C-alpha cells in the first residue's frame, strides 16, 4: 500500500514539473515573440501605445469626475450657508414677533387691570352710596 502512495506522490511531482515546464515554455515563447522578432516588437509597441492611451483616458475621466465632485461640493456648501442665513433671518423674525406680542400682551394686561380697577372703584362707590 505504501508503494502505491509513493507512486501517486511521484506522479503528482511529475505532473507539477510538467505544468511548470509548459508554463515556462509558453512564457519564453511569448517573450521571444515580443522582444526577438520585428512583428513582436511592433505588437509590443502597439500594445504600449494602447495602454498609454487608455491611461490618458482614465486620467481625463478621473479629472472630470473630480471637477464634477468639486462643483457639487461647492453647490452643497453654498446651499448649506443659504439655509444657515435663512434660519438666522427666521429666528430674528421670531424674536421680533415675540417681542411685539409681549409688548401687546403687556399693554392689554395693563388696560385690563385699569378697567378692572375702574369697575372695582365704581362698584365700591355704588356700595357706599347705597
Instruction: Answer for the pair 13, 21: CB distance below 8 angstroms, yes or no.
Output: no
Residue found under cell 479629472: 63
Query: What is the predicted pLDDT for the residue at 1?
Result: 54
pLDDT in tens, the chain (130 residues): 566 677 666 767 777 777 877 888 788 777 777 677 788 778 778 888 988 898 999 999 999 999 999 999 999 999 999 999 998 888 888 888 889 988 998 888 888 889 888 888 888 887 777 6
Cell of 12: 503528482
Tell which residue, 54, 60, 10, 88, has the closest CA to residue 18.
Answer: 10
Query: What is the predicted pLDDT for the residue at 68?
Result: 94
pTM of the model: 0.43
Q: Which stretches of the chain are DSSP H helices? A: 2-36, 38-129
Amino acid at each position: 500500500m505504501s508503494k502505491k502512495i509513493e507512486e501517486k506522490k511521484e506522479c503528482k511531482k511529475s505532473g507539477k514539473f510538467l505544468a511548470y515546464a509548459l508554463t515556462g515554455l509558453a512564457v519564453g515563447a511569448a517573450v521571444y515573440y515580443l522582444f526577438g522578432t520585428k512583428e513582436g516588437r511592433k505588437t509590443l509597441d502597439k500594445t504600449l501605445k494602447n495602454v498609454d492611451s487608455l491611461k490618458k483616458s482614465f486620467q481625463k475621466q478621473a479629472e472630470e469626475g473630480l471637477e464634477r465632485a468639486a462643483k457639487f461640493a461647492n453647490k452643497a456648501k453654498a446651499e448649506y450657508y443659504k439655509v444657515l442665513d435663512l434660519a438666522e433671518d427666521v429666528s430674528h423674525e421670531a424674536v421680533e414677533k415675540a417681542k411685539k406680542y409681549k409688548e401687546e400682551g403687556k399693554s392689554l394686561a395693563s388696560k385690563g387691570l385699569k378697567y378692572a380697577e375702574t369697575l372695582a372703584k365704581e362698584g365700591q362707590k355704588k356700595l357706599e352710596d347705597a
